[in-house]
Structure 1
């Protein structure tokens, strides 16, 4: 399969507090490692992780990810552009964009997104809201490179037709933004 995974793991964790939330333990391993291992189990040609913290980079490298590093505090669009520069060099037919703070998305969830081989964007949806993870065919790479500020690819996925939106259960699609999200995750 000529699909790359792009794991965005360079956020500032502003709402989490002083600690890097991606290093916070969840079920015995760092939070980011959950997403990395789920992606590592897929038959993908390349796995790229965008990081700003060297410790997060070490975790992703152990999981088989090639790293793209950005300065801390950069907006989400910087992470996407940095990772997409690597993806474009690999000449893949599509890229699966995932977030490092979504530890409950399973390998099977990711596989559902990449199983459809149509040349169209596909994304997760929960309660009618389109969100990552999402798959972008190569013809959208330039649009991903043009993103700016801290909005990510929401403009590209928000109005997709129903057949391009794959329903995910709320229990698996949630992300970790605050320490209280971890308490909820443990219950």
Structure 2
């Protein structure tokens, strides 16, 4: 197997964060770790990590500012791309709490790729690109949107699943914190029970519990989740069983 092609990472960590109340969004913490540090940890394999935004002590990266500061993602990309040396570049936002090295590796499997969230929406600030091709596109581009710049490059859409979110608002940050706590608890509980965390369809169980809590009563939600587990242990198909139980709960509500 050939060695992976070298890549650099550009993380856009500037901007006014108006929907975040104007605060330091990249520095906001999820699970006790700043968002920008979480993102940087997902590109540990990069030759250079270039952060477009204010310097942050303790974060190993090359820092640069766009001109003018807060001028938007396209000027920020210009500033960051000017420092890229590798033939590939991973372009990322600084507010991606669930970005992993595995997601980055999946993007890098394609010449040009963008992540698509669970709803199929392109996440233009989560992608991997050929550096020369991106530079050429940027040189002739006069627009302001990343979609207008990157869309014509016809990237491969890499599914990101339902566990994908950025943090544009304080409410998004709170949901990310809650989701992280749930994920960590699932790992802890599975370790105690001798189960593989990947064998647990978190969203399926949570969706079922939500439907039962709304359609029947809150105490029925954990009991139904337990009954689902018993039925699955006897060989039942979890998705089919959850669908039937959710339909029953919604029917009662109606």
TM-score in terms of structure 1 length: 0.80
Secondary structure (helix, strand or coil) at the match of 2:76 reads helix
CA–CA distance in 2 between the matches of 1:139 and 1:7? 19
For residue 72 of structure 2, what is the aligned residue in structure 1?
75
Offset at residue 179 of structure 1 (A): 0.4
Shift of 1:64: 2.4
User: Which stretches in structure 1 are left out of the alignment for 5+ residues?
Assistant: none
Q: Map of 1:4-83 to 2, 5 A cutoff?
A: 4-40=8-44, 42=45, 44-51=46-53, 53=54, 57-59=55-57, 62-70=58-66, 71-83=68-80
**Within the alignment, does 1:134 sit opposite 2:127 as a pair?**
yes
Name which one, 1 or 2, has greater alpha-carbon Rg: 2
Cα displacement (A) at 1:181 = 0.6
5+ unaligned residues in a row in structure 2: which ranges? 179-254
Distance 1:145 1:48, change over 3 A: farther
Bigger drift between 4-13 and 146-155 goes to 146-155
Partners of 1:101 and 1:38 in 2: CA distance? 12
CA distance in structure 2 between the partners assigned to 1:23 and 1:145 by the alignment: 31
**Contact 2:17–2:23 at 8 Å: present in 1 too?**
yes
CA distance in 2, matches of 1:31, 1:69: 19
Q: Is the 8 A contact 2:16 2:22 kept in 1?
A: no
Aligned length: 170
Once the two structures are superposed, what CA deviation does each residue of 1:132-155 show, in whole Å capped at 9, x if it has no partner? 311111223221344455412454
**Distance in 2 (alpha carbons) for counterparts of 1:159 and 1:125:** 15
Point out the structure with the larger helix share: 2
1:58-137 superposed matches below 5 A: 58-59=56-57, 62-70=58-66, 71-87=68-84, 90=85, 92-116=86-110, 120-126=111-117, 127-131=119-123, 132-137=125-130
Greater fraction strand: 1
Runs (4+) off by over 6 Å = none
Change in Cα spacing, 1:170 to 1:93, as seen in structure 2 (3 Å) is same
Specify which structure has the bigger relative contact order, considering alpha-carbon pairs within 8 angstroms and separated by 6 or more residues: 1
Give the TM-score taking structure 2 as reference length: 0.61
Q: Compute the RMSD of aligned alpha carbons.
A: 2.1
* SS of alignment partner, residue 42 of structure 2: helix
The CA distance in 1 between the partners of 2:141 and 2:26, in whole Å, is 24
